[in-house]
Structure 1
Amino acid sequence: MFLERFIQYIKFEKRYSPHTVAAYQSDLDQFIRFLQSDQPVTHPSEITHHHIRSWMVTMMDDKIIARSVNRKIATLRKYFKFLVQEGVITVNPTAKINTPKIPKKLPVVVEDIKLAKMLDDDSVFNTDFKGLRDKLVIELLFGTGIRLAELLGIKETDINQYEGTVKVLGKRNKERIIPVNTELKRLLTDYVELKKMQNFDNNSLILIVTDKGANAYPKLIYLIVHKYLSYISTQNKKSPHVLRHTFATALLNNGADLNSIKELLGHANLSATQIYTHNSVERLKSIYKLAHPKA
């Protein structure tokens, strides 16, 4: 009963995305199954920080990574905070919980100069609809830094050719306007015109579509990105998010301030954007080692 009320709360009052709601539901279902199998409780007020710590130990014994453990505990924090607000419990049992530290990993990027050179090479992409769509996918991800879900949600009406901008719907249904470069503006115009000429049956208003005109899906975008990044990079990770990281790192390396990058990426706070400064520091270190006689 309490869980259902919470799910309704985040779905309709907080207006979380279906993906986020599903993740919360899954985390809470896992916790409830753990309680039922190990230390059964009949009411949320019976749950203590000992139960939660025991669940954390079980997950870590099962080799679940720290990032996933932290996400599940964050779900519990949200759930018990809701129960306190509703008057179901008086004490939040997650208050005494310390989550495991996550080792910081530098964002994986590709060389922006190589990427730009590939995009300018007319021999890389075919001139048919599929080739133009593939090029637009890479150009949009690298040229705007948008997330995969944001790319898939762009409609033709979200493009403002006069202003030279594209509107995207980010996390928590927050809209933001992102400028596009001249080359990307031209490519968007060419693609939309060619898309209309295909006479697809469903005539989808979603910008990126499959070869048959259906709305594009995540796996298709991953395949496209992996294919073209393989031309310029031997690293294992070749995902749409690598292009987002490359976009942000390129801006920082060329003098953009963190607040501007934060707004372009749609980050909720500056701390999420600051990770890119580490890439810049590493770049400076490598330049120093190559150039300085004392290095």
Structure 2
Amino acid sequence: MRLGLTVPAFRWPGGPARIGPILGRIARDADTHGLASLWLMDHYFQVTINGRAEDPMLDGYAALSFAAALTSDISLGTLCTGVTYRHPGLLGKLVTTLDVLSGGRAYLGIGAAWYREEHDGLGVTFPPMAERFERLEETLQITGRMFANDDSPYIGTHYRLARPLNSPPPLGRVDTARPHPPILVGGTGERKTLRLVAQYADACNLYDAPDLPHKLAVLREHCDRLGRPYEEIEKTVLSQFKLKDDPRTDPAASVAHLERLAALGIDHVIVSLPAVHNENAVISLGKVAAEVADLVPAGR
């Protein structure tokens, strides 16, 4: 089982001047202490579950590029880019750039977008939900083509690309034979989101919640209907651990929980640590990662 880290907030001691140094330390610690991935939110404003809209929020891809320059092994992605934030051709180019400069370590994490306040605040169009999902499907088609080095014209309902040229092409994630950055679709909607996962994505991102077995069953049903092997899809969940930042923390309870997730077939757990800015927090999570490194998820 793989363990990753998400950093969803930047309201840290020392104010804006300390964000760069602290984030840099977090990225380096995650890379050197055995974590598989580092994820940032891709929002304009902080979301209400994590604080106030006025709290610090970094551009996801600029911050990941910063992290890429400080690391060598860890995979990098957003949880998740809203489809409304960037034109799909530019998004494909952006993720490819991160992939090339990081040595093939990028994910494309994407979803249908939901946070209207940030759109209105910065003057970004926020279409109705049905249209956002239409745009998400077209974006998955376009970025999939770009990652596969297919520059033939794309004519959709919302997007038209005369030549989606993507040079240089992405390197692909270094620990697999996949020829492009894995495409991860975030969200738990049973009718649309999980169908898009089954049809287009390499990975899903679900919540570590009581209904997780049901969501996985729905995903399997979509795969069966579309003729897609369910086992091909990397199952990730977003979880919150309440580890203390003391490196002597006993990881037994966290390991037991991860064993239960592995029994459900979860491949990759992405953890949010409430005090991630504390110096030993990521080191403590690395201890847990070491404990579950040989844990094989059900179905693998």
Structure 1-normalised TM-score?
A: 0.21
Structure showing the higher helix proportion among its residues:
1
Greater radius of gyration (CA): 1
State the structure with bigger RCO (CA 8 A, min sep 6), 1 or 2. 2
